[in-house]
Amino acid sequence: MLKRWQSWIPAGGGLRDEDWARRHRLLTLLLAACVGGLTIFGAFRHALASPWLISVLLVLPCVVAAARVRNRRFASVAVAFGFVVVCAGFVAMCDGLTEAHFSFFIAVAALALYRDWAPFGMFLVATTLDHAILGTLVHTSTFDHHGDHVNPFVWAALHGGAVLLAAGFQLAQWALTEDEERRAQENLDDREAQLSVAFDETPVPMVMFSPTGELLRMNTAYRKWLRLPDELPAGFGVADLPITPIDNTMDGLFDNLAAKSTHNAIRQYRRNDTGETLWAEAHSTSLFDKDGRLKLIFIHCQDVTESRRQQEELHHQVRHDSLTGLLSRSAFEGDLQALLSANADGAAMLYLDVDRFKSINDGSGHSAGDSVLKAISARLTALAPAGALIARFGGDEFVVAVPGGPEVGVPTGEAILAAFGEPLPVEDNMLTVSLSIGLAMARDADQAEDSVLAADTAMYSAKRSGGNRMKIFNEQMRVSVQERIAGEKLLREALAGNREETLPVWFQPIVRAENGEIVGAEALIRMRAADGSIIGPNQFIPAAEETGMIVPLGEHVLIMALRHLVEWRHDIGYISVNVSPRQLAEPDFVPLLADLLAANPEIDPKRLVLEITETALLGSSLDVRERLETIKSLGVRIALDDFGTGYSSLTWLQNIPADVVKLDRSFVAGLSSDARKSSIIQAVLWLAKSLGMSAVAEGVEEEADQHALHAAGCELLQGYLFGKPMPPVEFGERVQRSSMATTP
């Protein structure tokens, strides 16, 4: 029950020092002002007598005590006593006028500002004693009626009770206010506790700074992130943090944050203790007071180092080739634009391709091929001048852009060729690799794409010339490329049409040296244009080889050759067909050949001869002997074409299971007048005969060479002297005439 009543009584106190000081200063000034007010009132009423003097003499010490005493309670009691004296003196100066007693009610309300029982209770007690004592001693100056001298204490009690009632309402208001403040404080404490939990326990690093950069508060995540101790020295601020922005100072960062209400930034920092770098995304909020002055800066941070590294790695992967680490095609094209825009002298474009890389890749495996590409990339990087761009365009193609003109590009290309004359270290082995290089110039950014295409064109020219060399682009190369593109287009159209019409197969006779009798023929492909004109193989065979269309083209020639073998089965002994290395490498080639022979059972397979060029075999990645042995098992004969133009012809004679050797025209032309050629021919013919092979001499155009070959023992001849390639009808007629001419 007592606690219940206590809940209705204000506890008193509870004011913050600055709030109490403001209220005390106000009441002290009012007390001092009352001294002046009493003086003015007394002068107006001509009442500057003893009540005024006594009041002033008592109030002035109270004002001095209120201003000088540091103890809150003593100072407030002095003010309360001073107000009692002022009210009593005012009543006395008014001769006990009832209305003058209202000043006590005003004073009660004023002293309630202290919210302290000491001054408030002191005033109530002093007021009651004032009315009792003065009402008894000088009742005419205390009450303005004549009943007070009979029972002065009763009137004192009545006046005191009235003041007490007035004070009661102040107490009720005081108690209600305290209760509301208590509830507000409890709510505030709950919210602060919730915010503290949210601030301290969140895994996101958070920190608060003062306007001067002093660290006010931080959570556990922030402390762990920056590896800060639990206790920080006084005045610890932004400049003392163990990280430093790489692109700015920490002070500059704080000024930037303080200048904006909100700010987002991702910046790179360096840890002062370890030197490691980190990326952090910071979101700051600046809090200002009502006058616009900065109060604090709240920052929450997120370590984005890992995601930044992933972005950088992804960016690197986009810009660089994953195998070699060189620039990718797209990155090279962008950087080339910038290089040409910044360099007035332009750039030299070197387009490089590895010679016979397919044989390395297929013969040794893709891992070995990858190792070769890495070794090539490393050597190119070491050779390229400063400022050069190096890219891998895919496969075994590389591009180097060197700032400057031909005076820089040509020596660079020559240095690369010379460097690759030395073997490459590949997987604990030394491998000799050669390159074909095309060189073209680019003067400005508008020529970037064209210059790469031009260098590519020059590279193909170098490759067709045998590789391991550099070619400088010229306009004639562009014409050749355009012709090749046109030939490719025509070839695609021809293959898509009626091949017997669009791709006629002509035949060139192969004759006996002794009497000119036609004993065989070589099948040679031609193309018929839309206007009916005939296009030679030089205009479309290179495109067929590069695009892979040589495979269906070769199949068509085989079909037509077998068809005419059936037609001329009583007239000629055999037909030879050229087989490209691309066609020979096809896994379906041997099954296709077997199916074609099975479809024509009346043909003796020995009447079909497949011509394989010696130089083509050098670049093949196949086990050539195994593939040719499989073909021979079908009964088909093998001819080694263009013999003598390769690097190791005698080796091929020994290793390749050939049946026929076709002597290249470079040995035949002028044979009758060149004793050295005659000796070589005789040696080759003797070797071929000893290996059980027959020989055919190609390119015979002079009768003197015919007689010289016949005298050397070459039994079969081929060349314009006996007939150019001709359509089947014309060739059939020629065979008939030859047969009649040689028939006894």
Q: What is the pLDDT of residues 670-694, one digit of tens each?
A: 887 887 888 888 888 888 888 889 9
Q: How many CB atoms lie within 10 A of CB 573?
A: 17
Instruction: Determine the Cα–Cα distance for residues 368 and 442; give it in Å rounded to an integer.
Output: 35
Q: Phi first, then psi: give them for residue 467, nearest 5 degrees.
A: 80, 180
Q: Phi first, then psi: give them for residue 421, nearest 5 degrees.
A: -70, -20
Q: How confident is the model at residue 11 (pLDDT cuts 50, 70, 90)?
A: very low
Over residues 548-592, the pLDDT tens digits come to 899 999 999 999 999 999 999 888 999 999 998 888 888 899 999
Q: CA-CA distances (angstroms) from residue 138 to 51, 59, 455, 468, 686?
A: 11, 20, 127, 135, 167
Q: Kindly report the length of the chain.
A: 744
Instruction: Determine the Cα–Cα distance for residues 112 and 351; give it in Å rounded to an integer.
Output: 97
Please answer whether residues 360 and 376 qualify as being in contact, where contact means their C-beta atoms are separated by less than 8 angstroms. Answer: no
**For strand 243-245 and strand 435-442, is the pairing parallel, antiparallel, or unpaired?**
unpaired
pLDDT, average across residues 425-445: 87
| The two structure tokens encoding residue 540 | 């479309």
- Closest listed residue to residue 410, CA positions, set 438, 390, 433, 449: 438
The residue to which tokens 């700032």 are assigned: 403
Sketch out the chain's domains with CATH numbers.
2-179 (no CATH), 206-309 (3.30.450.20), 320-484 (3.30.70.270), 500-742 (3.20.20.450)
Three-state DSSP class for 217?
A: strand
Instruction: Determine the Cα–Cα distance for residues 730 and 723; give it in Å rounded to an integer.
Output: 11
Give pTM, 2 decimals: 0.52
- Closest listed residue to residue 636, CA positions, set 585, 696, 562: 562
Please answer whether residues 550 and 602 qualify as being in contact, where contact means their C-beta atoms are separated by less than 8 angstroms. Answer: no
| The two structure tokens encoding residue 445 | 């950014």
pLDDT, average across residues 355-376: 77
Instruction: Determine the Cα–Cα distance for residues 116 and 483; give it in Å rounded to an integer.
Output: 110
pLDDT, average across residues 615-625: 59
DSSP state of 423: P
Please answer whether residues 443 and 339 qualify as being in contact, where contact means their C-beta atoms are separated by less than 8 angstroms. Answer: no
Q: CA-CA distances (angstroms) from residue 701 to 56, 273, 538, 665, 666?
A: 151, 88, 21, 10, 12
Q: How many CB atoms lie within 10 A of CB 603?
A: 19
Amino acid found at 711: A
**For strand 660-663 and strand 637-643, is the pairing parallel, antiparallel, or unpaired?**
parallel
Q: How confident is the model at residue 5 (pLDDT cuts 50, 70, 90)?
A: very low
The residue to which tokens 């750039």 are assigned: 347
Please answer whether residues 76 and 116 qualify as being in contact, where contact means their C-beta atoms are separated by less than 8 angstroms. Answer: yes
Kindly provide the b/e burial profile for residues 624-644, where b requires at least 16 CB atoms within 10 angstroms of the residue's own CB.
beebbeebbeeebbbbbbbbb
pLDDT, average across residues 415-426: 89
Percent of the chain with pLDDT over 70: 85
Q: How confident is the model at residue 439 (pLDDT cuts 50, 70, 90)?
A: very high
Q: CA-CA distances (angstroms) from residue 453 to 194, 413, 447, 544, 572?
A: 68, 17, 10, 20, 49
The residue to which tokens 């500059």 are assigned: 252
